[in-house]
Amino acid sequence: MKIERRDFLLELRTEELPPKALRDLEQALASSLATGLNQAALVHGDVHSYATPRRLAVWVKRLAARQVDQDVKRRGPPLSASFDAAGQPTRAAIAFAESCGVAVETLQRLDEGKGPALFFIGTKAGVATVQLLPSIVDAALKALPIPKRMRWGSSDAEFVRPVHGLILLYGSEVVPAKLLDTESGNITLGHRFHSTKPIRVSSPASYARALRQRGHVIADFSERRETIRSGVETLATQMGGRALMSDALLDEVTALVEWPVPLAARFEDRFLELPREVLISTLQDHQRYFPVESEAGALLPRFITVSNIESRDPAKVRAGNERVVRPRLADAAFFWEQDRKRPLSSLRPALDTVTFQTQLGSLGDKARRVKTLAGEVAAAAGIDRPPAERAASLSKCDLLTAMVGEFPELQGIMGAYYALADGEPAEVATAIREHYLPRGAGDETAATPTGMAVAIADKLDTLAGIFSIGQKPSGTKDPFGLRRAALGVVRTLIERKLDLDLHSVIDRAVQLARTDIAKTANASSLKPDNTVDEVYAYVMERLRAYYLEGNPAVTTEMFDAVLATQPRSPLDFDARLKALVAFLTLPEAASLTAANKRIANILKKSEGPPPDVVKVEALKDPAEIRLYDALNARQDAARAATAQREYTAALGHLAQLRPVVDTFFDEVMVMDENPAVRDNRLALLGQLRTLFSGIADLSRLPG
């Protein structure tokens, strides 16, 4: 029988939702609702979501009016327990029949291999969709990624913001429900200022159109975003420039307005004397404006704001935004002037008065640790040491400036400007700017050698210190940004091709941290001295994520195969992994991988390690002689290539062993009854395994 289908609409109307979370909430609600419908076996078409500052909505097309009837087969009690000696049904049989909604006489007696038993065979009618929707929607709302929910009024309901309206509309029919202490209906409200009358939604398909035409609301997030983007670009072009428009800012502005109206505005030319980043931070991060630059890349005294109203007097809206930004820029100019009245280095003593972490001491303590570590990193990597130490000693000073106090996001950036103003070398100033890099996912790493040394030292100091006091990240909690720090270290080393013994540097960082911890009153809280291995393992797990998320050719087994060789340098790790990926595309790879697994199993089962030396005179079988000769012919070239980190070439040499390895396992019994013969063959396999394991442990690969 054909099941009727109608569209379904869910709208949750709230107070202003958090703008940076709006897109995630929209997508999560649509996904959770679709999952709930699928789990309930409710057939439906496309799912379209909407999000504005004051509403989340989902339109489900062609949702079936009820579940499909299901064939049911249930096994009941054994026949021996279903009837008494007189043939009358027992309580067990009666209870089973009642649970199936039938009489005992209608149950069937079947034997499916576990002995004869009562069975119910029938059809379970599908439940009506309108009966299922309230619980499905409720579950979808509870599944939203909301870190902290709030209550409002006297209600016990909890959501990210107070809820003021709920639409559950199936076709033209309101689905009765009370969710988040709000009764469902078919009424919504439009724009806060442009539309004051309630809007009745007659059908799910008419929802977005009704809001646009009668409510002055563009409900579709993507459509609203494109309206803003094109409007801002048009205005910027009219001003003779181009807008600085990051995806994050565009998304946030889209989440702040329901009826976007871009407006061009300006600020005083004198503020162009401020550093570019100060202007951008003021306009973009603090005011959610779009800065405008010339075709040559110089900032113009212009910006674009996106209003949430279509004013009859746009000039007043423009003037209001210009009036708001003026004092902020004036404050920035004042901070810029005051900060430059004293050299950056003069702030170093004051770092000792600011706590970095109670057990790890002050910012001054951290700066001294980073200075020592940066110098040692620079020396180990062939980087000029004095500039690295100088940059590290100044790296935290700008945290005490007035500008960074007002604009924390400019830490490092302002330090570089002030260092240059003080006459510090350019490489020192650049390293101060770069030592925070990368600041987030997709951000660039430090590009200068001095910047790399200070960035690595700063991040490893934080990792070593926090691990030393037993506060490593757990779950989603990572207050010191250790995941970002660890990933920043490995990205810098690999992407900038910096060869460094990471384990040794971590060891030194832990030593420095433990020395400072021992000076505090909480010295007894020092962890047992396995911190170096813990930090190294943690960094390696971030390296695993770096490869698995960024390179589809790499699998976790490949990563583990290289990790088993314990490369001390991430750059060396990278070279091994790339060589392994290339090797596994060769036709010989599968056979040699299987052989390595077989060798590993044989050696594991043998008593003790194999002998170090193969006795040539004891080789009798032609297959083992050929393997020995081939191994001798290839191993020098393979070892030389491995020593030069030319791992692809080394594996290429070893790939040529495939025929003799295959023949050996086909024709030779390794575990011979004669102990001398067995030990000699184990020695031969041990040498073969050692040669391969110098690059990666192939036995860890599948196959």
**In the predicted structure, residue 1 carries a pLDDT above the cut 60:** no
What's the mean per-residue pLDDT of the chain?
Answer: 92
Q: Domains (ranges, CATH) in the chain?
A: 5-67+128-214 (3.30.70.260), 70-124 (no CATH), 221-334 (no CATH), 346-550 (1.10.3210), 575-700 (1.10.730.10)
Q: pLDDT category, 164, cuts 50, 70, 90? A: very high
Q: Is 90 exceeded by the pLDDT of residue 701? A: no
Q: What confidence score (pLDDT) does residue 631 get?
A: 85
> Which residue in 445, 438, 455, 434 sits closest to 378, CA to CA?
455
The type of residue at 679 is D
Q: What is the mean pLDDT of residues 247-275?
A: 96
**Contact, 402 vs 453, CB < 8 A?**
no
Distance CA 620, CA 623 (A): 9
pLDDT tens digits, 572-599: 999 999 999 998 998 888 888 888 888 8
pLDDT classification of 602: cutoffs 50, 70, 90 = confident
Question: So what's the pLDDT on residue 527?
Answer: 61
665 or 8: which leads in pLDDT: 8
Alpha helices in 382-444 (DSSP H): 385-394, 402-406, 413-421, 426-434
Q: What is the pLDDT of residues 73-118, one digit of tens each?
A: 889 999 989 999 888 999 999 999 998 888 999 999 998 888 899 9
Does residue 390 carry a pLDDT above 70?
yes
The pLDDT score that the predictor gives to residue 528 is 62
Is the pLDDT at 295 greater than 70? The verdict is: yes
Q: Which of 269-278, 469-478, 550-559 is predicted with the least confidence, judged by mean pLDDT?
A: 469-478
φ/ψ of 361, rounded to 5, equals 90, -160
- Of 308, 315, 268, 310, nearest to 288 (Cα)? 308
At residue 287, the pLDDT reads 94
Percent pLDDT > 90 in the chain is: 71
**Considering only CA atoms, which of 177, 157, 154 is closest in space to residue 166?**
177
pLDDT at 50 over 90: yes
**Bridge partners, residue 58, by sequence:** 10, 49
* pLDDT for 529 beyond 80: no
Q: Which residue has tokens 């801002």?
A: 232
Residue 335 has what pLDDT?
97
Mean pLDDT lowest among 141-150, 502-511, 554-563, 615-624: 615-624
- Per-residue pLDDT at 315: 94
Mean pLDDT of 480-505: 94
- How far apart are the C-alpha atoms of 341 and 651, rounded to whole Å? 61
Q: What is the DSSP letter of 66?
A: B
- Residue 556, both tokens: 């976790």
Choice among 44-48, 522-526, 683-687 with the minimum mean pLDDT: 522-526
Give the DSSP per-residue string, 129-188.
HHHHHHHHHHHHHHTS--SS-B--TT----BSS-EEEEEEEETTEE---EETTEEEESEE
pLDDT number for residue 665: 83
**Above pLDDT 70, what percent of the chain?**
99
Amino acid at site 149: R
Q: What is the predicted pLDDT for the residue at 526?
A: 62
Are the C-beta atoms of 120 and 71 separated by less than 8 Å?
no
Q: Which position has the higher pLDDT, 231 or 154?
A: 231
**Residue 666: what pLDDT?**
86
3-state SS assignment for residue 240: coil
Q: Tokens 């419908």 identify what position?
A: 37
The candidate with the shortest Cα–Cα distance to 90, out of 76, 100, 101, is 76
pLDDT tens track for 455-483: 999 999 999 999 999 888 877 778 889 99
Tokens of 99: 């649970």
What span, in angstroms and rounded, lies between the C-alpha atoms of 516 and 523? Answer: 9
Does residue 386 have a cis peptide bond before it, meaning omega lies within 30 degrees of 0? no
Q: Which residues have CB under 8 Å from 649's CB, separation 6+?
A: 641
Least confident of 57-71, 176-190, 293-307, 665-679: 665-679
Mean pLDDT in residue range 35-42: 93
DSSP 173-231: EE---EETTEEEESEE---TTT--S-EE---GGGHHHHHHHHH-----HHHHHHHHHHH
DSSP H helical ranges for 53-90: 79-82
Q: Residue 589: enclosing H or E segment and its boundaries?
A: helix 589-605
pLDDT of residue 684: 85
Q: CA-CA distance, 274 to 265, in Å (whole number)?
A: 19
Coil, strand or helix: which one is 303?
strand
Residue pair 400/354 in contact (Cβ under 8 Å)? The answer is yes
In 212-338, DSSP assigns E strands to 242-243, 261-266, 290-293, 299-307
